[in-house]
Amino acid sequence: QRPESYTVKRGDTLYSIALDNGLDYRELAAWNNISDPAAIKAGLVLRMRPPGPVVAAQPEAGAQVQPDARVQVQPVTVPGSVETRSLGGDSRAGAEPRAGTEPPRPAGDLLKTGPKAMKLPYSEENLAMLLRQSPPQPRAEPVAPQPGAEDGQDTVAWIWPATGRVLAGFSEATNKGVDILGKVGDPVFASASGRVVYSGIGLRGYGKLIIIKHNQTYLSAYAHNSSLLVKEGQNVVRGQKIAEIGNTDSSQAKLHFEIRRLGKPVDPLKFLPDRPS
């Protein structure tokens, strides 16, 4: 289960935090009102889930609620003649607003602030205060599945992302995926259908990197490429060429391939089909 918050540590980037938690870094930036993903600092507390709606306080059990308190209005005598307006729409003279005043603003105009980064030390009290300050969110409309994305939470049909032999296998301590040998310019294929959530060079040690989100459970990562052929937000299908093998941030040409379940690296060889001998 993803934590409610995360305190940024020295050496963290928004991209690495998103990858380690199975998130799109742009969503993480939006939840925390971060305009520059490269500008986060150690000690910043990040919200790791979308801000929820503010729930109206309920009266305590047994509390008496007044049905409808009416305000007594006292008549005021004003010198001189005053034009009056009937309750109907056919008044003869409309009252003009006084100088220096402005008409009342719609309630919606008062709630145009976005979620703020949690820059206070984490505590239940600070979290509750920030939630109280967050504006209510509109009710989410049902969203149709994105083209190319896998439907099931845990059902992904994987294929090999490159044709070379496995150079190094998975190790929880030293290698978060598998390394597949290749030549510079060899094709890299999407291992499963999904949406590109990252395409760039923002993660140290990965070189030119592509990350694809397949569903709410699985991400795949493709590192050390020489060229990137897809953009963030683009939907891709299984087997589509998305990059070319390279040696960026690597001593030799290879594809470093990861599968992450809920942000945690898993052994790709347990998910990829057997290769013909």
CA 49 – CA 154 distance, rounded (Å): 21
CB 259 within 8 A of CB 241: no
- Taking alpha carbons only, the member of 1, 16, 49 closest to residue 198 is 16
For the chain, the residue count is 277
Predicted pLDDT at 94 = 42
- Give the pLDDT band of residue 203 (cuts 50, 70, 90): confident
CA 150 – CA 139 distance, rounded (Å): 25
User: What is the dotted CATH code of the domain comprising 5-52+114-133?
Assistant: 3.10.350.10
- Architecture, CATH, for domain 166-270: Distorted Sandwich (2.70)
Predicted pLDDT at 222 = 98
Per-residue pLDDT reduced to its tens digit, 68-99: 444 454 554 444 444 444 444 444 444 444 44
**Mean pLDDT rounded to a whole number for the chain:** 75
Instruction: Return the domain boundaries, the chain.
Output: 5-52+114-133, 166-270
Predicted pLDDT at 48 = 87
Lowest mean pLDDT of 24-33, 56-65, 115-124, 146-155, name the range.
Answer: 115-124
